[in-house]
Amino acid sequence: MNTLRTAMLLAAMTALFMGVGYLIGGSGGMTIAFLIAAGMNLFSYWNADKMVLAMHHAREVDRRTAPDYYGIVEELARRAGLPMPKVYVIDNPQPNAFATGRNPQNAAVAATTGLLQALSREEVAGVMAHELAHVQNRDTLIMTITATIAGAISMLGNFAFFFGGNRDNNNGGFGIVGVLVAMIVAPLAAMIVQMAISRTREYAADRRGAEICGEPRWLASALGKIARGAERIPNMDAERSPATAHMFIVNPLSGQRMDNLFSTHPATENRIAALLRMDAERPAAPGRVDLPGGFARRASADRAPRTDGPWGGSSPRRGPWG
């Protein structure tokens, strides 16, 4: 089903790209737009993940450079029955994370330094389980390709602003209208496509992520902290590349936190409520609950996550790299 949805999305985005090309340059513009879109689709399939990681200045880490963070991802991937993804850190103070890659064999997960410093180890596990759920559900291909093509459509709208309207149409007024449509409708249409693929998939990834880590409250608590952090701390890389916003676990852009037609994510409070309902509905599980990285704790009635930082000890700001 996800393969079919990906094909339909690519076809829709290509048609939109061609339509904007026609408004800018007539039949010749449409032909050029088709060739660009076809090449972009092929390039995006193989390289979109690398482009997105580069946009956000992500750097790869391993068991030596980030043992705790890497160990959490490794254990969660084992639980989910997934190949070990590449693990990245983004030097950004805003707490956030995303996953990318065309399939589980070529997947990558990335977390910001702000997330690793602000969240407890349990909460980090909840977040990374959510990202691995996107990998397992094969959401990452469509999310990454959408980011690339949506960004290109937005650039095409900007191109229209500078280089005029439909030159094959004798009606000069239509050319002006074409420019206005390209400037306004194309970025809006790209945003609507992002919304369509993101909103339901976030709920599905929340549920599956909670199943992978075994504790819905870990992710619920993490979402609350991430949302509050995103409100206070700007993510300048995301602001410069807004077409990638739908990939993050919580919207990294300012002013886009309402659960309405123009948001790229469901409202965080709705996601938290769904996770708490999931937690309340599951059977009681007394005894030990193993945590990634060799931790274990005794399950309790409230199952509240720890708050002493992701790496234990008295210095939660130490980070995973030493």
Condensed to tens digits (0 to 9), the pLDDT of residues 170-222 reads 444 545 655 666 666 656 666 656 665 667 889 999 999 999 999 999 999 99
pLDDT confidence of residue 148: 67
Q: Pick the more confident residue, 306 or 161.
A: 161
Distance (Å, whole) CA 89 – CA 73: 12
pLDDT at 319 over 50: no
Amino acid letter, residue 210: A
Mean pLDDT of 286-294: 44
Render pLDDT for 76-128 as a digit per residue (tens, 0 to 9).
999 999 999 999 999 999 999 999 998 999 999 999 999 999 999 999 999 99
pLDDT confidence of residue 178: 59
Q: Is 134 annotated as a binding residue?
A: yes
DSSP assignment letter at 244 = G
Stated as kind and residue range, the H or E segment containing 136 is helix 121-136
pLDDT at 235 over 60: yes
Q: Are 161 and 94 in contact (CB under 8 A)?
A: no
- Taken in order 75, 77, 81, 82, the sign of the CA dihedral is negative
Banded pLDDT at 147 (limits 50, 70, 90): low
Q: Given the DSSP bridges, would you call strands 108-112 and 86-90 parallel, antiparallel or unpaired? A: parallel
Catalytic positions, written as ranges: 131
Q: Is 60 annotated as a binding residue?
A: no
Give burial (CB, 10 Å; 0-12/13-18/19+) of 67: middle
Q: Is 130 annotated as a binding residue?
A: yes
pTM (two decimals)? 0.75
Percentage of the chain lying above the pLDDT 90 cut: 42
